[in-house]
Structure 1
Amino acid sequence: MEFNKIFAAVLLAGIIGMATGIVADMLVSPEPLKENTFKVDTSAIASAAPAAGPAAAAIPPIAPLLATADPTAGQALSKACAACHTFDKGGANKVGPNQWNLVGAPMGHKDDFNYSTAIKKKHEEGAHWTYEELNEFLAGPKAHIPGTTMTYAGMKSEKDRANLIAWLRTNADTPEPLPSPDAAAPAAPAGGAEPAPKSGG
């Protein structure tokens, strides 16, 4: 008997709640807005969006500096590369390949060194270590040839790069002819070795 009373009370409360909801909906029926009453002007936000950053500055040609470059100063600079490279004829490979006869050489030409995939690809494409290639590679190896295993951060001084390249040029049986001082990018010659100082390749 008590159970029936409880059940009836719950049922009655549910019916009252439902009826109240129906009546409330009939009395209050708001219409949805067709548009926001408070408009936000987004044009200023769009115009304030930052523009794309400027492209990285191009590296000036090295040819004009090579005419007055100092190979002796370049040899002194090469000491920082000696932990990873040798420069003498017939020298052993280290972390990076031997650099004898580098200037003008095909990239990745040494059969006894395991080059990075990036350098192997350059070799397949017929790329050479021209004066300008060396200049840009030494300025930032990973920026110039993405994927190289060379860990050197880069030589920022144009004068230092010119001196180092002038010295590298002397490490050959027949040094590569110097480019004309007003030459922007000499044509790729044929020759003998592989990447530049300080680590892999």
Structure 2
Amino acid sequence: MKLEDIRREYLAGGLHRESLSEDPFEQFKLWLDQAVASGMADPTAMTLATVSPEGQPSQRIVLLKHFDSEGFVFYTNFGSRKAEDIAHNPRVSLHFPWHSMERQVKIEGLAMRVPVAESLQYFLSRPRDSQLAAWASQQSRKISSRQALLMQYERMKEKFAAGQVPLPDFWGGYRVVPSVFEFWQGGGSRLHDRFEYRFSTASSSWEANRLAP
């Protein structure tokens, strides 16, 4: 089959302005709750896009671990490529691809580190194996082999065999503070429904507008 012949209609339902919340955070919570309830795999998985100092965009999937009216939180190694990009340019984009519901959410905003106490609280909630993995991995750095990584993991397991695994000083969270939301619902004949929320400093409120598909 030719790639150009792969297509389907999006007929799960439309999206209307009157059905949207005035608050994009509330609208996101509604859709996230529905995505979780649907039983789809990894509803909290989101693509994080950053830009390098040379202007090269880069994307990867991370997991949303918390969100509220202050923003969207994920965790990573501060030596990773994503963290280095953010240190240079905190402007990032998030994308939630809820394909089975024919929905997408895109968020643009600024990423900033969360307080250490917040990172510690989350780190202590992780399974012990995940805590040890954070110590073992020099994220985004070249390694000689998978065996070398596993050996480093075993060394960390021995090092912290007695007692609690401490929070690494090179690991923690980022909060993405949104300035733009876009909610996308698939529509028939490629006439999708798109609504964009932008925060207006003039009115100190979110303004929603329909976008052409």
TM-score by length of 2: 0.22
Structure with greater proportional strand content:
2
Greater relative contact order, per chain length (Cα 8 Å cut-off, separation 6+): 1
Q: Structure 1 or 2: larger helix share?
A: 1
Question: Structure 1 length normalisation: TM-score?
Answer: 0.23
Could you say which structure has the larger radius of gyration? Answer: 1
